[in-house]
Amino acid sequence: MKRRRLLAASCVLLALAACRKDEPKRPLPQHAMIAEDVDLDRDNLLNLAHGASVISRSAELTLENSAVHAIDGDWLTFWKSTPGGPQQTFVFSLPARSRIDRVGVIAPTGPSEVPPRVRFEASDDGATWRDVAALDVKAMRDPQLVSVTPFDATYLRARTEGISAYYSAIRSFVAMGRELAPPVQPRIEGCWTINGVPARFVQRGTSIAGVIGSDPPVYVSGGTDGRVFRLMWRQDQMWGPALITLDPRRRALSGVRWHEVVRDANIADGWFGTPSSQCAEMKVGETEIAATILKRAGKWTAYGGDAFATLAALVAAAPSRQFRVVARDATQAGQVRSTLSSHVEIVTAAAKSSNEPQRVIADGVELHVR
C-alpha cells in the first residue's frame, strides 16, 4: 500500500492571518487541518475499486479523461473539462452509508489547470443536498484535504468553481471516513445504455458476462466481490481488465478499462450507463464470451467459485490443449483442483499490486494457455 503524508497547517481561524500572511484572508470552511499519515489507496471512500460510482457528471474533454478517472484509484489519471468549461458538477455514490470527516482533491501540478475552488455537498438520497465544505485548491502533488464536522451520507456532489486558464482538471476526489453499514450492490443483469449504445449483461450468482453493442462490440466476462464487478474485456483484437460499479439504487453504471495491464499509461475510456429496455436481441453466452477472451489474450480470469464451472468448460472444450492455472493461495488451488481434470497444471502465486484497482483485478484464478 502506498502511503502519502498529508502536510497541512494546524492553525485555527483566529491564527489564520498569522500563519498565511502572504495570502489574501479567506476563511476556511472548517477550523483545522491535521498533519497525519493517510493511506489513500486503502482509505479513500471515493474509489471505484471500493464500490464508489459516478451517478452524473456535466462534461469532460474526452471519455479517456472522464469523471470516473478521478475515482479510479490512480492519482496519475485525471478528469479534464471541456475547453472554456472549467466549472463542472459531479455526483458520486458510495457503496454504503458512510461517516465522513475529511474531503478534498489531488490536483494537477500545473497552475493553469487547477480549479480555484471545489465545493462539496452531501446527500442521503441523491436528491436533497446540504453543504459540507469548500476547498481552495493549489497546484501541488500532495493531497489537499479539509477537516469537516463528521457527517453521514451515501452520495457526494462536487463542484469546480472559478475560472482557470482554459481547462480544469482533477486527478482524484477524496472522501475519508468509515462505512456504517454493509455495501449495497444491485444485480447488473439486464439491459443498459452505455456511452450511447445498447448493452446487455447476464448474471449467474457472482459471475457475469455481457456485450456492449459498439462497433465492433465489446465482450466482457467476470464476477463481483459484492462491491465491484471485476472483468476482462475484448473488442476485436484489443483486450484488457475493467471495473464496473453500480449506484445502490441501480440508477447508473460507471466503469473504466485498461489495455492489457492496470496502469495509468494503459488507461482507456470510461463507461457510463443507465438502465434501458432496448437490448432484447443481444445474445450473451457466458462460456462463449470467456472462450473468445481466452483465445485473444491467452488467459481468462475466474472471479469467485461460481466461475469455476465456466473455467472447467473452457478446459473440457479443448482436451488436447495444455493449460496452466494460477491460484492466489492454497484454498483457491484446492477448489480448482476439485473442479478440473488432473492433467491441468495448478500453481499458487500471490498477486503483486501497488494500488487498489490492481489488487481487486488480480484477485482471481487465472487460466493460461501453455
Tell me the C-alpha distance between 170 and 291, whole Å.
38
Specify whether 57 is located in the same domain as 137: yes
User: How large is the average pLDDT for residues 235-256?
Assistant: 97
> 350, 219, 365: which is closest to 293 by C-alpha?
219
Place of cell 465492433: 216
In a domain, residue 250? The reply is yes
User: How large is the average pLDDT for residues 235-245?
Assistant: 98
Specify whether 63 is located in the same domain as 162: yes
Range of the domain at 330: 294-369
Specify whether 213 is located in the same domain as 302: no
Specify whether 36 is located in the same domain as 125: yes
Q: Torsion angle of alpha carbons 88, 48, 1, 143, nearest 10°?
A: 10
Domain count, the chain: 3
Per-residue pLDDT of 126-159, as tens digits, reads 999 999 999 999 999 999 999 999 999 999 999 9
In a domain, residue 58? The reply is yes
In a domain, residue 286? The reply is no
φ, ψ (nearest 5 deg) of residue 145: -120, 150
Tell me the C-alpha distance between 115 and 313, whole Å.
52
Report the mean per-residue pLDDT for the chain.
89
At residue 15, the pLDDT reads 35
Tell me the C-alpha distance between 173 and 171, whole Å.
7
User: How large is the average pLDDT for residues 37-41?
Assistant: 74
Please give the residue that has the higher pLDDT: either 164 or 252: 252
At residue 36, the pLDDT reads 56
CA 196 to chain centroid, in Å, comes to 20
pLDDT at residue 5 greater than cutoff 60: no
282 burial level (CB within 10 Å; 0-12, 13-18, 19+): middle
At residue 242, the pLDDT reads 98
Place of cell 475493467: 242
Specify whether 197 is located in the same domain as 173: no
In a domain, residue 80? The reply is yes
At residue 153, the pLDDT reads 98
Please give the residue that has the higher pLDDT: either 27 or 101: 101
Tell me the C-alpha distance between 344 and 322, whole Å.
7
CATH code where residue 26 lies:
2.60.120.260
Contact between residue 361 and residue 262 where contact means Cβ atoms under 8 Å apart: yes
Tell me the C-alpha distance between 324 and 327, whole Å.
10
Per-residue pLDDT of 67-121, as tens digits, reads 999 999 998 999 999 988 778 999 999 999 999 999 999 999 988 899 999 999 9
pLDDT band at 28 (very low <50, low <70, confident <90, very high): very low
